[in-house]
Structure 1
């Protein structure tokens, strides 16, 4: 019962934290400079890791899928299959998990160390609103940057697939990408992009919550960073499950 109580209690606290963000964090004036700074840190500095992972993902997915399609004489469907797989599901989820590990832990550790060293308390005493400056800016930046990272990730992954196809065959760049775009529709792209905003919001919210409510001491900072990654990653899967169910309803209509 204690575990269930702890889960429900923390769920309530996170919900209150999210409500506080919508009530206080989205009120003007906005910390524009800090939002831009956090967007640079969260978006631009995460791009190399996301790009390398996406490239390898597209390469491996194509190499692993090709033998099966060859058996059925459906090798020409390879670009379409890989593109739909990456854009609908693999690209958004893998990118979100990478960001949950990199960004979630970074935010949790950063805010946790500020909480432990009483910098947040000092900001409150000096008249600065630490919630707007530290929490709202990071959640907004994560929510805005993750969709951009996913779009770039999808493009890099499909390019990796193009190179993998040309390991065995010779397919022109134009022909490959014509097949890719012919197989895609707005019903594939739009739901996949929309759900990444929720992924980004969840990662930023959990990272900030864990750091902002970190326990005292260096161990508390470590626990905040670790739990931010675990909870954010789990929440990404839960949100993805919900998004897939909603998208299926639209496909049926």
Structure 2
């Protein structure tokens, strides 16, 4: 029991030190701008097809599942606003972040883990290159910047999916649908939901990098790093979302 608690506190200290090093390195010259853009491309652009499919299905399924209940109470006209609010406030940010945690955190963990196992990181240090700044800081910053963009994109695609879902059982013009959507939205619905996605992206990148960068020797540790990165990132997303909801209710 004592040894288990000791390992927990040791891991917590290592993660804190690893995170503190990011804030120290990210503002130091030279800036790895080229590598940052490359990681933004890998994390952001290459995730667009998956996010598009996920967002469209979220909007479509939410509309189809909610419509019978609203029709029963004669409130079908509320459907566009309800779908938009549900997607933007909670469903799209969390589901998109979980999808990205599975794709991005595991990819980063496996990539850095394999570089650690094959001693490429050690070779960079010997060559006078700062591997943390080049490999870790750029990936964390790229994930922090790209996850909110992907979530906003998923919001838009999900609302379009809701429009398609409404027109399966009824005939609603696009102008009327989007008028009801925008009439139901306020800035206070959008801003808190967008702000928390920056934290989602930060923790996805941080956990993926930490698990890969600190992987043990041996090829078996690469798979463990990727798997544990997904589990830890997904759990952290739920915790951050819970805290964000409490703070939003408290101040807004």
Hey, what does 1:49 align to over in structure 2?
50
Counterpart CA distance in 1 for 2:245 and 2:62 is 21
Hey, what does 1:184 align to over in structure 2?
185
Hey, what does 2:159 align to over in structure 1?
158
* Contact 1:79 1:180 survives alignment (8 Å): yes
Give the TM-score, by structure 2 length. 0.98
Counterpart CA distance in 1 for 2:27 and 2:42 is 21
1:205 aligns with 2:206: yes
Hey, what does 1:23 align to over in structure 2?
24
Counterpart CA distance in 2 for 1:179 and 1:202 is 35
Question: What displacement does 1:120 show?
Answer: 0.2
Hey, what does 2:65 align to over in structure 1?
64
* Contact 1:26 1:136 survives alignment (8 Å): no
Counterpart CA distance in 1 for 2:221 and 2:154 is 34
Cα RMSD of the aligned pairs, angstroms, is 0.8
Question: What displacement does 1:4 show?
Answer: 3.3
Unaligned runs of 5+ in 1: none
Counterpart CA distance in 2 for 1:151 and 1:200 is 13
Q: Deviations over 1:167-187 (max 9, x none)?
A: 011111011011001100011
* Contact 1:62 1:165 survives alignment (8 Å): yes
Hey, what does 2:145 align to over in structure 1?
144
Counterpart CA distance in 2 for 1:38 and 1:17 is 20
**Superposed counterparts of 1:69-88, under 5 Å:** 69-88=70-89
Counterpart CA distance in 2 for 1:233 and 1:3 is 23
**Superposed counterparts of 1:229-248, under 5 Å:** 229-248=230-249
SS in 2 for 1:28: coil
Question: What displacement does 1:13 show?
Answer: 1.1
Counterpart CA distance in 1 for 2:4 and 2:69 is 46
SS in 2 for 1:26: coil
Q: Deviations over 1:80-119 (max 9, x none)?
A: 0000000000000000000100000000000000000000
Unaligned runs of 5+ in 2: none
**Superposed counterparts of 1:90-109, under 5 Å:** 90-109=91-110
Q: Deviations over 1:133-153 (max 9, x none)?
A: 000000000000000000000
* Contact 1:35 1:140 survives alignment (8 Å): yes
Counterpart CA distance in 2 for 1:42 and 1:27 is 23
Counterpart CA distance in 1 for 2:18 and 2:175 is 49
Hey, what does 1:124 align to over in structure 2?
125
Question: What displacement does 1:160 show?
Answer: 0.2
